């Protein structure tokens, strides 16, 4: 009898505890927290500026730590990661890398969503399709489509013969420990600044609004993941004031702006910083609270071992190839407290201090025995600023395609046409970075003297400029190009990158 009573008591307590546990697990307080880790405009998988900042293996460690803090964490790339990069120009197994290294790293990091940036369209349609197929993460695009003979279609991934479309919007569901569920949606548009024959751009503002309209009744809250100018993001914020947060790219300097209640956040390029957004959502009040932290990625952060191995593999490939071209590629050759500006928006529109350095180096390569130097802004591919310790590899990243510096005897009349064309081409790769050439009003000056249309000048040109691509009337066949000296392999002028390295080392 005593045994039966004891057993009954034990079973009763067990049932009560069990019911209590079930009650606790089923309790839904209607509030849920989740975290976004945002990157944008990342071209380098390894740390930059002498190893001081950036590095995807460090970001991977931050990501893992955030997942431990809250399993409901998403990792984003707000566009621009496949190009440009020095590794991307290399040939491995007979093929140009063209962003393959970045996709391999990002697959290992388990990105949750990526947006297209304008630099994704630098590479050929064939290479872009390969990268899409290789990626294990989802992409999003509302206003950029693939143009085919049959018409415009969404981008897609093709794996084992099966095609899967890239959608205009994206939905993610989270659930927390107490059972609160939330559906969050994402919209994305890309700046139409890289027109290509295989692309069709729709109006980004129309598509942003349409995407939001298609999502708002399917989810609890909608966020933006964009790659457009800040001014465009601000307009989107005005058009869709219900967005709590737009995670943006394109600009390379961190910023955090508010248009009404819409927060617009952009991190620094090349993962020098990342944004951590801790989001709280209340299903009863429909209120979203975003607390954002700009985190510097530096030497204090340990590297994730798995991602680090992939980065090292690609760095070893890079070093092996670079060592064939230049000794001590990691040597610090210059220190600068003032950023050397190689961003596209600068070098393709105004005279940049980095453009001046490159043009001066071109003159230096010929012992300053020339009148002036010109290089097309489109040759500068780093789309970033150099600050602090500058290495030889940094210069190769600035000018990944290399090329010779040509010494050209050119008629003043043609030189003026070239300079005028370069000014009119502001905003494109044909804009000219200069040394010993100034414009005062509408007049050009060469070495402080007015340009003489009848005089013959000796000008150092980047070899690309004499191919007639950027400036159609300038080539080795132009009648007012009197002579072109192409340097021998043993000469410094044979490789513009080596000339810049030598020039900076001399300072």
Query: What pLDDT is recorded for position 382?
Result: 87
Going along the chain from its start, the domains and CATH numbers come out as: 28-296 (3.60.21.10), 328-506 (3.90.780.10)
Instruction: DSSP letter for 190, please.
Output: B
Distance CA 342, CA 354 (A): 6
Tokens 């089923």, residue located: 26
pTM to 2 decimals? 0.84
- Strands 273-282, 287-296: pairing kind: antiparallel
299's CB contacts (< 8 A; 6+ apart) are 51, 52
Write 15-24 long-range contacts (CB < 8 A, 24+).
24/178
CA nearest to 224, candidates 245, 198, 193: 245
Structure tokens at 318: 């890079």
Query: What pLDDT is recorded for position 252?
Result: 85
Are 492 and 404 within 8 A, CB to CB?
no
Q: Output the tens digit of pLDDT for each of the chain's 507 residues.
A: 444 555 455 545 554 445 444 444 558 899 999 999 999 999 999 998 878 999 999 999 999 999 999 999 999 999 999 998 999 988 899 899 999 999 999 999 999 999 999 999 999 999 999 999 999 999 999 999 999 988 999 999 999 999 999 999 999 999 999 999 999 999 999 999 888 999 999 999 999 999 999 999 999 999 999 999 999 999 999 999 999 999 999 988 899 999 999 999 999 999 999 999 999 999 999 999 999 999 999 999 999 999 999 999 999 999 888 887 888 888 999 999 999 999 888 999 999 999 999 999 999 999 999 999 999 999 998 888 999 999 999 999 999 989 999 999 999 999 999 999 999 999 889 999 999 999 999 999 999 999 999 999 999 999 999 999 899 999 999 999 999 999 999 999 999 999 999 999 999
Query: What pLDDT is recorded for position 507?
Result: 93
Query: What pLDDT is recorded for position 6?
Result: 52
Tokens 């952060």, residue located: 301
Distance CA 42, CA 455 (A): 46
Query: What pLDDT is recorded for position 12?
Result: 52
Instruction: DSSP letter for 479, please.
Output: T
Structure tokens at 5: 């009573």
Distance CA 433, CA 380 (A): 10
CA nearest to 86, candidates 46, 128, 130: 46
- Strands 139-140, 113-115: pairing kind: parallel
Query: What pLDDT is recorded for position 24?
Result: 46
The torsion angles phi and psi of 219, rounded to 5 degrees, stand at -135, 170
- DSSP assignment of 41-106: ----SS-BTTTTB--HHHHHHHHHHHHHH-S-EEEEE-S--SSS-HHHHSEETTEE-TTHHHHHHH
Q: Which residues, listed in sequence order, are joined to residue 482 by a DSSP beta bridge?
A: none
CA nearest to 201, candidates 192, 212, 189: 192
Structure tokens at 143: 């206003």
Distance CA 318, CA 312 (A): 10
pLDDT in tens, 482-504: 999 999 999 999 999 999 999 99
């Amino acid at each position: 009898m005593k045994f039966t009573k004891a057993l009954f008591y034990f079973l009763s307590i067990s049932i009560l505890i069990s019911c209590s546990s079930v009650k606790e697990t089923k309790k839904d307080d209607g509030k849920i927290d989740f975290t976004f880790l945002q990157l944008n405009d990342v071209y380098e998988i390894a740390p930059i500026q002498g190893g001081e900042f950036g590095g995807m293996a460090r970001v991977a460690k931050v990501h893992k730590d955030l997942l431990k803090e809250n399993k409901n964490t998403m990792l984003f790339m707000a566009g621009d990661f496949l190009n440009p990069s020095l590794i991307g120009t290399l040939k491995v197994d007979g093929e140009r890398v063209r962003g393959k290294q970045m996709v391999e790293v990002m697959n290992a990091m388990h990105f949750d969503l990526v947006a297209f940036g304008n630099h994704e369209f630098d590479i050929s349609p064939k290479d872009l399709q390969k990268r899409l197929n290789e990626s294990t993460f989802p992409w999003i695009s509302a206003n950029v489509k693939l143009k085919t003979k049959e018409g415009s279609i969404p981008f897609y991934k093709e794996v084992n013969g099966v095609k899967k479309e890239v959608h205009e919007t994206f939905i993610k569901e989270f659930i927390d420990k107490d059972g609160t569920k939330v559906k969050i949606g994402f919209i994305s548009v890309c700046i139409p600044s890289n027109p290509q024959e295989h692309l069709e751009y729709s109006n980004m503002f129309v598509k942003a609004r349409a995407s939001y309209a298609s999502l708002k009744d399917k989810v609890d809250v909608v966020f933006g993941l964009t790659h457009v100018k800040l001014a465009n993001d601000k307009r989107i914020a005005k058009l869709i004031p219900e967005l709590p947060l737009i995670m943006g790219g394109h600009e390379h300097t961190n910023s955090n702006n508010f248009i009404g209640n819409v927060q617009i956040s952009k991190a620094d390029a090349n993962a020098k910083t990342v944004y951590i957004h801790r989001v709280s959502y209340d299903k009863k009040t429909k209120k979203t609270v975003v607390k954002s932290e700009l985190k510097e990625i530096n030497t204090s952060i340990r590297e994730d071992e798995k991602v680090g191995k992939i980065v090292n593999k690609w760095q070893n490939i890079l070093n092996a190839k670079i060592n064939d071209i230049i000794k001590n590629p990691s040597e610090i050759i210059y220190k600068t407290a003032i950023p050397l500006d190689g961003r596209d928006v600068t070098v393709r529109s105004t005279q940049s201090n980095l453009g001046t350095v490159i043009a001066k180096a071109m003159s230096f390569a010929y012992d300053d025995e020339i009148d002036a130097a010109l290089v097309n802004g489109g040759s500068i591919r780093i789309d970033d600023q150099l600050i602090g310790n500058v290495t030889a590899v940094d210069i190769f990243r600035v000018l990944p395609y290399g090329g010779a510096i040509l010494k050209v005897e050119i008629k003043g009349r043609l030189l003026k046409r070239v300079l005028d064309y370069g000014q009119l081409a502001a905003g494109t790769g044909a804009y000219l970075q200069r040394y010993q050439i100034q414009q005062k009003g509408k007049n050009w000056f060469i070495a402080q003297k007015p340009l003489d249309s009848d005089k013959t000048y000796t000008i150092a040109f980047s070899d690309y400029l004499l191919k007639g691509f950027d400036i159609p009337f300038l080539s080795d066949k132009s009648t007012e190009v009197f002579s072109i000296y192409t340097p021998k392999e043993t000469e410094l002028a044979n490789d513009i990158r080596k000339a810049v390295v030598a020039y900076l080392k001399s300072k």
